[in-house]
Chain A
Amino acid sequence: MAAGLGFKTFTTGEVLTAADTNGYLMQGVNVFANATARDAAITSPQEGQACYLKDTDAVMTYSGSTWVAVGGTVSFNTARNYVATSETTSSTSFTGLTTAGAVTVTTGTKALVSVSAVFDNAAGANVLAYMGFAISGATTVASADEYAVGAKFWAAPGNFKNKQGATFLVTGLTAGSNTFTTQFKKGAGDVPAFAERTIVVVNLGS
């Protein structure tokens, strides 16, 4: 297959050469039954060349080294961790609880992280509570209020129990295997408890 020559407007009476045919006229989207048929027909693909495969309904272009689906391959690596048991902390800085909740996902530089839990004040009347997450592995990021869901409740002990949750877009990750670990802390007041703790991570690529 000849390399594409770009675009040309032919003039009346101009002789159509083999080079014109290969360089201009053959540069459309060639249709094949599948990749095997394409590779048999195009043994020397040229960078920028396009094809359509009927078996996958995919339009592909040749990068110079491989055929790549137009629009790229979207891969949503996902993971979820759930801890049902209710546990508590008196820490005013983020900490894991007795039963750790974590997921490890191979990500690009962006991920969507969702955390949720049932917050309650079984152990005290007035509670300010937060649930966030730390990242370790390819990326190291400490838990922060910016990426935490919180609740403040003033009620008699045991009279507040509510599912809280939030979703955060995290950017600037180092692509690779990243571990997202739930973390918790209390603010002013008594100690909160956290049950039905869930973390979900969706890789958004780079």
Chain B
Amino acid sequence: MAITSKDINLLQLDNELGSHGLIADLNDPTAKLIKAADGSPITEAQLEDAIKIHTAVFATPTIAEKLASVGLSVDDLKAALGL
């Protein structure tokens, strides 16, 4: 199990390791726990090395996603603006 305080994009990190699957407890930002999933051939050393060079990239939500987060759609917004 690897423990890190780095920003982790789990899906991105998994892709960087060949998409064998990772599991994680990310609740403590100062001690994120990351392990290879059951059946994964990734070793702890490989995981730790990957974390060292990992630079998490988080996609910026689209306008549609931002609207959806408050229960609205683009069409709702257009209708409200009379467009």
Contacts and interface: CB of A to CB of B under 8 A. Distances in A.
B32 to A, nearest CB: 10
Interface in B4-40: 9-11, 13-14, 19-27, 33, 35, 37-40
B41 to A, nearest CB: 13
Contacts of B19: 90, 92
A94 interface: yes
Interface stretch (A17-25, A54-62, A96-104): A96-104
A191 interface: yes
A91 B11 contact: no
Interface size class of B (residues with CB under 8 A): 20 to 34
Interface residues of A, number: 29
Contact of B33 (A96, A98, A158, A159): A98
Interface in A145-198: 154-159, 183, 185, 190-191, 193
Interface of A: 85-99, 123-125, 154-159, 183, 185, 190-191, 193
Given A92-B19, A99-B25, A125-B61, 18 more contacts: A88-B25, A89-B21, A89-B24, A90-B37, A91-B21, A91-B37, A93-B39, A94-B38, A96-B38, A98-B1, A123-B9, A123-B26, A154-B68, A156-B66, A156-B68, A159-B69, A183-B38, A193-B26
